């Protein structure tokens, strides 16, 4: 079973509208973290926002906010007032513990391709 599910392979949104990108996750751990990354056409992975499982308030970073609903295992990214430069792939990822050496790492969803139209 997928640990991170992004159900929207692609989205078209009008400029200046708000966008919600869906992400659900599956874990039995009590301590975990949820990340969103942006990947523009140039290919680099850009960190957007982080939510820890024990954080009581939803994370916000400028125009980005994370709608964290722990009981529903949902961590949707909200982009307010979208801009043409927001067109990119967006990945939801979950930090989980690994077996070796106290390490942890990220498991990614398959991504959502967001296109902002003028």
Partner 1 sequence: DAGITQSPRHKVTETGTPVTLRCHQTENHRYMYWYRQDPGHGLRLIHYSYGVKDTDKGEVSDGYSVSRSKTEDFLLTLESATSSQTSVYFCATKKQGRDGYTFGSGTRLTVV
* Beta carbon of residue 107, minimum distance to partner 1 (angstroms, whole number): 7
- Confirm if 23 and 78 have CB atoms less than 8 A apart: no
- Say whether 66 sits in a helix, a strand or coil: strand
* Residues in contact with 81: Cβ distance below 8 Å, sequence separation at least 6, in sequence order: 16, 17, 18, 63
Return the half-sphere exposure (C-beta side, CA atoms, 13 A cut-off) of residue 3: 14
Under the binding rule (CB under 8 A), the answer on residue 25 touching partner 1 is no
Measured from the CB atom, is 111 or 116 closer to partner 1? Answer: 111
Under the binding rule (CB under 8 A), the answer on residue 108 touching partner 1 is yes
Q: Which of residues 52-81 bind partner 1 (CB under 8 A)?
A: 52
Cα dihedral sign, 48-23-85-65: negative
* Beta carbon of residue 95, minimum distance to partner 1 (angstroms, whole number): 8
Give the one residue of 28, 41, 99, 118 binding partner 1; rule: CB under 8 A.
99
Q: Which residues pair with 77 in a beta bridge?
A: 21, 66
Under the binding rule (CB under 8 A), the answer on residue 118 touching partner 1 is no
Measured from the CB atom, is 44 or 118 closer to partner 1? Answer: 44
- The contact set with partner 1 (CB under 8 A) reads 4, 33, 35, 37, 43-45, 47, 50, 52, 91, 93, 98-111
């Amino acid at each position: 079973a997928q640990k991170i599910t992004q159900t929207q392979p692609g989205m078209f949104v009008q400029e200046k509208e708000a966008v919600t990108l869906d992400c659900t996750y599956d874990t039995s751990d009590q301590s975990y973290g949820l990340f969103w990354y942006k990947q523009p056409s140039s290919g680099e992975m850009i960190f957007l926002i982080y939510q820890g499982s024990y954080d009581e308030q939803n994370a916000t970073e400028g125009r980005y906010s994370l709608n964290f609903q722990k009981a529903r295992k949902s961590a949707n990214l909200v982009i307010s007032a979208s801009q043409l430069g927001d067109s990119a792939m967006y990945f939801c990822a979950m930090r989980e513990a690994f077996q070796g050496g106290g390490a942890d790492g990220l498991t990614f969803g398959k991504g959502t391709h967001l296109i902002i139209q003028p």
